[in-house]
Structure 1
Amino acid sequence: MKTILFAFRVSDLERSLAFYRAVGYTELGTVPFDDGSSLVWLKLPDEHAVSLELVHRPADGSIETGGFEHFAIEVDSLSATIDHLTAAGLEPAPPELPGGPEGPKTSWLTDPDGYRIELVEWPPGGPPVPDQF
């Protein structure tokens, strides 16, 4: 068993696509529906298949993101990623060290609808294994 993708309902499809393209996602395909809604499948360069689905259903009204906490993206270099995102016009938060100086480096980014993304650079040796929790 494995996670395939996360799906987010978005209020403005073009605005969201511009945001996620700036993050580094590429579009794999779009499924349009007769009622004007659509699904757009996205993936990051190192992923083999779709990992994010943007759901645009204008007829359903406004979007509330309150129950969702965040999803995380692993990056090779947090400082280079922050520089890239800032140059692309996005506003990543300053780096944090939630596990102390030997732990992961993180930064937060919020998409146009309020979904939060955690950017994570693991320390040498990679992420902790379950027996380290």
Structure 2
Amino acid sequence: MRTLHFGLRVADLERSLVFYTAVGYEVIGSVPETPFGSLTMLKLPGDEFVSIELVHDPAGGYKADGGNSGVLNHFVIKVESMTATLGELAARGVDAEAPVSPDGSDDFLTAWLTDPDGNRIELVQWPTGHPDGITGEDWTD
């Protein structure tokens, strides 16, 4: 098994598309009418597959407290260079918090941004040689 993508409920589809395309996501396709509302599929240029499905249902309303289907804490995007990524985001009008290093090093960095619906996105620059994601090795002594 593997995670394919996640559905993210949004209050205003156009506003969310402006934000996510400024972050760097590409619209791959859409399904206009489903029981959940319209579905818009997004992926990052370096991804092979869709990673986010924006779910928008103007008739069903939107509850910022997560009342529609649960509460998202955050999701994570891997970046090659935090400095370059933050510069590109700023040029596109996307504000991010200043990066910090969870382990005090210069090459393991995280930074946060927030989408128009208040969903938090963590950017991660892994240290040199680290796998592309978290593994069990991250917890071995």
Superposition TM-score, scaled by structure 1 size:
0.91
1:121 pairs with one of 105, 118, 125? 125
In 2: Cα distance, 1:131 partner to 1:83 partner: 31
Matched, 1:84 2:52: no
Amino acid at match of 2:108: P
- Conservation of the 8 A alpha-carbon contact between 1:9 and 1:63: no
Matched length: 132
Moved over 6 A (4+): none
- Structure 2: gaps (5+ residues): none
- Confirm or deny: 8 A CA contact 2:107 2:125 kept in the other structure: no
Correspondence for 2:112 among 78, 93, 108: 108
The within-5 A match list for 1:1-133 is 1-33=1-33, 37-65=37-65, 67-101=71-105, 104-127=108-131, 129-133=135-139
Q: Which amino acid aligns with 2:77?
A: I
Gaps of at least 5 residues in structure 1 are: none
Q: State the Cα deviation string for residues 41-76 of structure 1 (Å, max 9, x = none).
A: 000011111110000001122332553211100000
Across the aligned residues of Structure 1 and Structure 2, the Cα RMSD in angstroms comes to: 1.8
Q: Is the 8 A contact 2:25 2:44 kept in 1?
A: yes
SS of residue matched to 2:76: strand
Q: TM-score, normalised by structure 2?
A: 0.86
Shift of 1:34: 7.7
